Amino acid sequence: MTLADLGVSLCGIHLPNPLILASGILGTEAKLMARVARAGAGAVTAKSCSLLPRRGHPNPTVLAWEHGLINAVGLANPGVEAEVKELRQARALLQPLGTALIASIFADTVEHFAQVAALVIEAGPDLLEVNISCPNVHDEFGTPFAADRGAAAEVTAAVKEAAAGRVPVLIKLSPNVSDIAAIARAVEAAEADGISAINTVTGMVIDLHARRPILANRSGGLSGPAIHPLAVRCVYDIYEAVRLPIVGIGGVSSGRDAIEMIMAGATAVGIGSAVYEEGPEVFGRILREMADLMAELGYERVEQMRGVAHW
């Protein structure tokens, strides 16, 4: 078994392997994304950007605890104009490496989702991830777009129209809902090209001595090993509900975790908190572990494992 056996196709885009840098971990700096690519990532996702610059929440915004991370950064970013410049530089660095570039966007209205999508596409990303599920961003009624089937479908349709077939669109879903499969079906009906799942789980950590939540925002998004079984279940449910390719995200820190996601139905696997903990070198380690496990289990290609837990 060699690492070359791990190639996959995501929404028609070839990835040299199924491991993807998840959004929001290492920012948007082009040289940093290239470093991740050289470390072994099959694709890299830039930090989510909005139409206008956003300062985010005051510190403290990130806490490493026993079972992962909890954060409330608040989607701080320099805005789409600055993002497009960085994405163009990243694309130039990634293309010779054969690594795909995924842009990520968010907004506060359906119209702004469409506007920022149209601008980001000009940078030439291979795929576009639409973050409708961050716990820190809501519509005008205070509800995340991913929590309502109608709102999720409306955003999907608007972004697809703005994309005009120039780039595949992945919709990033939230686990903080009663029926993630229903949301998946809604975005499929609105012609999404794929789904990313899951975003973080809303949580809180309290400082016993200060007698108050540690994060300045009080609650934040929980990620890392603690949410992995939940993420696997969500991917499993989505795979049963729709025919779209899935990027499985949530607590992946080993080859076993990655293969578990694929067996649940994922086409590719996002890695986030493990990069924060170990650095970009985590991609090479997980790829080696995947190759060894595939040989042990008798698989020659990633596609042979996809969805086998449903058989």
For this structure, is 134 an active site residue?
yes
CA 233 to CA 241: how far, in whole Å?
Answer: 12
**Are the C-beta atoms of residues 276 and 69 closer than 8 Å to each other?**
yes
Instruction: Spot the catalytic one: 11, 49, 134, 234.
Output: 134
Can you give 5-64 as a three-state secondary structure string?
HHCEEECCEEECCCEEECCCCCCCCHHHHHHHHHHCCCEEECCCECCCCECCCCCCCEEE
Residues in Cβ contact with 142 at an 8 Å cutoff, skipping those fewer than 6 apart: none
CA gap 254, 214 in Å, rounded: 29
List the one residue out of 200, 186, 197, 198 whose CA is nearest residue 242: 186
Angle between helices 149-163 and 180-189 (to 10 degrees): 30
Q: Find the Cα–Cα–Cα–Cα dihedral 239, 241, 243, 246, rounded to 10°.
A: -40
For the chain, the 3-state helix, strand and coil shares in percent, each to the nearest 5, are 40, 20, 40
Expressed in angstroms, the distance from the first to the final Cα of the chain is 25
Catalytically active residues are: 134
